[in-house]
Amino acid sequence: MFIWRAAVVLGLVAGQAAARTTPLSVPVGTAPVVDGTMSDAEWAGSLKIERHGQTVWLRADAERVYIGIRGAGPAITTVCIDEPERVRVLHASAALGEVSYDRKDGALKLRGPVEYARQPAGDAEGASAAREAHFAAHGWTGSVVGVGAPGVTELAISREALGLSEGKEQSFPLALSLLSMAGGKGAGKFTLPDGLSDATVDRRMQAGMFLESAAFTPESWAVLTIGE
């Protein structure tokens, strides 16, 4: 599933000690509704980061980590979760999809083709049911382009999928880059941390053109801390 002019890429790693930056505190609170129609009131009290015309909110509850993204137009979202034997790449564009990169001979090698699950546009109840079914099957879900408000993406990832325990204070690295479909000054410059240069920001990866091998460097990523 390709959208060529823009992408949003998030990389998450769990279960590794990679503290290279001052930890960012992710508040624990009431879960937002993951439907692609976010409001400031719904995400009030979240960690909020604004740069280059992009805004990202981060929030957690006892079971899930939530990510809200708002930009000038539609975007692709990719989340990378690091596990001992592989990196899971979670992709949301006009559909949700996932691939894995297995650790082999000191490299990360692509395993299998991406599989996509669509959500019915114009059918809020059907789209909600599709998101919940995807979460039950894969441990994560999100809104997609064409469902919800333009320029908005919302994601929910289970703590279990991130290798985190429920209800305990824990830290994990995160890499984030945003490329707006709207273009303009500053488009594509938002990264967390600044200057991120691994596979997370490779435009082919962002567009769903998954490489046969990829170089992720979670030790260079930002660190998030989630409280009890």
To the nearest whole number, what is the mean pLDDT of the chain?
83
Where are the extended beta strands (E) located within 18-106? 24-26, 47-51, 54-60, 64-70, 77-82, 86-92, 95-104
d(CA 84, CA 183): 37
* Stretch among 71-85, 86-100, 126-140 having the lowest mean pLDDT: 71-85
Residues 158-168: tens digit of each pLDDT: 999 888 877 67
Residues 16-54: tens digit of each pLDDT: 444 456 788 999 999 999 999 998 899 999 999 998 778
**Residue 131 has what pLDDT?**
95
Q: Predicted confidence band at 212 (pLDDT cuts at 50, 70, 90)?
A: very high
Complete domains list, the chain, with CATH: 7-226 (2.60.40)
Is 113's pLDDT higher than 90? no
pTM of the model: 0.88
